[in-house]
Amino acid sequence: MKDPFWKNKRVLVTGAGGFIGSHLVEALIARGSHVRALVKYNSRNSWGYLDSLSDEQRRRCEVVLGDITDPFSAREWVEGCAVVFHLAALIAVPYSYRSPASYAEVNVRGTLNILEACRAARVKRLIHTSTSEVYGTALEVPIDENHPLQGQSPYAASKIASDKFAESYCRSFDSPVTIARPFNTYGPRQSARAIIPTIITQALAGDKVRLGAQEPVRDFTYVSDTVRGLLALAQCEAATGKVVNLGSGCGVSIGDLAHKIIAILGRTGILPLKSARRMKIVTDKSRLRPSESEVMQLICDASLARSLTGWQPEISIEQGLKQTIEWIRQNLDEYRIGAYVL
């Protein structure tokens, strides 16, 4: 699967030990890149999901532990890299209510450190990863890149600020930045702070699925499709200086999503049909977000990504959910079942 563009290219991925980051690292290695994978420093020397890399993959991957809030180390990480994918961030909306200063420090100051390090090192391409949460509740659907930004949570506000710093570096210093804005990515390795693993783990372990609001609508994209989108944008010179959405264009409510997952569990025999039919979906008030903070509708217009790169999702929600269910079923011991993960 070697790709001439990526073969022997030196690439930095921040947030490399996490959900999307680990899939991106594997995709780059498969295409022939030499990857420097930044994992958040921890005393256990854990590489997150990169711990499972094969010996062959490790030969093309240099794992470094650090913290993006440290500007001095950032200069070392980008040195010699032609392309940087910046994914490191604090990402959970509920935890941002509790610890907003942490989000400003990591998502804003940390991003500034990466931007400045890339400028000093004259990195040729920087893909800054944003989020659809910056749009807030849709004023019109589908949402294109010109939709107003609305900070409906401290998390969203921190990502808006980091996006604007990325934009400013492109305008002020001619930094070759593209802001990739994925909508809700899901798939194997995602933590239970996200809605799909939350539903799956509860359904596998009990007779109730506890959720917050069931009315919000989201646009879900399988992780391999998001990774392909990030890679495509890095190869596209015309995407420099632009914000580009990545999403399917299809919305599903959280309540309907839960019913869909339970139905798949029953049809595939993972749950007995009787158990699936008796499964209850209940509202847990502790999981509800403040009413003015809840984002009610996010549906992507990805026509710019298609026109620039030809990218479009390949994995249907049905196929993606089946693959995610199977991975979680085999790795259920990694989850604290029933615990509400901020």
Pairing of strands 10-14, 34-40: parallel
Please name which of 115, 121, 116, 120 lies closest in space to residue 179, comparing C-alpha atoms: 115
Distance of alpha carbon 31 from alpha carbon 225, whole angstroms: 15
Q: Which amino acid is at 265?
A: L
Distance of alpha carbon 8 from alpha carbon 58, whole angstroms: 14
Q: How many CB atoms lie within 10 A of CB 308?
A: 17
Distance of CA 53 to the CA centre of its chain: 20
Distance of alpha carbon 104 from alpha carbon 42, whole angstroms: 21
Residue carrying the six token digits 């990694």? 334
Residue carrying the six token digits 């470094």? 64
Distance of alpha carbon 118 from alpha carbon 60, whole angstroms: 22
Architecture of domain 10-189+221-249+298-314: 3-Layer(aba) Sandwich (3.40)
For residue 340, what pLDDT is reported? Answer: 82
Question: What does the domain layout of the chain look like in residue ranges?
Answer: 10-189+221-249+298-314
For residue 342, what pLDDT is reported? Answer: 77
Q: What is the mean pLDDT of each run of 10 residues along the chain (342 residues)?
A: 91 98 98 98 96 96 98 96 98 96 98 98 98 98 98 98 98 98 98 95 95 97 98 98 98 98 96 94 95 97 98 98 98 87 75
Pairing of strands 217-218, 252-253: antiparallel
Please name which of 152, 301, 310 lies closest in space to residue 231, comparing C-alpha atoms: 310
Q: What Å distances lie between residue 211 and 23, 171, 255, CA to CA?
A: 28, 42, 9
Dihedral Cα 243, 188, 262, 143, nearest 10 deg: 0
